[in-house]
Amino acid sequence: MEQQSIAMGLRSSLKKITIDTLTPTQLVVTGEFVFLEDFCAFAGHFPSQPILPAIVQLAAVRFLAESALEKPLNLLQLSKVKFKGIVQPGNEIEVQLSLTKENLSWQGILKLLNDSGAIISSGHITFIPREN
């Protein structure tokens, strides 16, 4: 999986994005994704029953954060992350991310939900702006 093709795949899989700015240091971003069978991350993971890798779920979270903040970000920390369900081709998922600015970093609470509202994954995430 090439990083560029993952980014392009995330962009084309995103069906809707909503950004709610609560304060200058707090926002909530929600994205609805549908990953089709030809999405590059399904290749080889697993041939008989393709599932979206956990790292790509986290890439979708970063993609939404970068879209909302309009800047490239680096992942600094993950904590309390739990993967409770799977995402298969054609499944609609909702990614919810609440972000709060703390000094130079953005602290986030993430949830990925399936189309019936069940939690697929959840946790805490911290981003810092990427330096050029």
Measured in whole angstroms, the distance separating CA 122 from the mean position of its chain's CA atoms is 10
pLDDT at 4: 57
* Assigned token pair, 37: 């069978």
pLDDT at 128: 98
User: Band of the pLDDT at 5, cuts 50, 70, 90?
Assistant: confident
Taking the model in full, what pTM does it have?
Answer: 0.94
Q: How many domains does the chain have?
A: 1
* Structural domain that includes position 35: 3-129
**Amino acid type, 82:** K
- CATH number, domain of 60, equals 3.10.129.10
Please check whether residue 97 is in contact with residue 105, taking contact to mean a CB–CB distance below 8 angstroms. no
What DSSP letter does each residue of 60-108 carry, written as one string? HHHHHHHHHHTS-EEEEEEEEEEE-S---TT-EEEEEEEEEEETTEEEE
**pLDDT tens-digit readout, 62-89:** 999 999 999 999 999 999 999 999 999 9
Greater model confidence, 94 or 45: 94
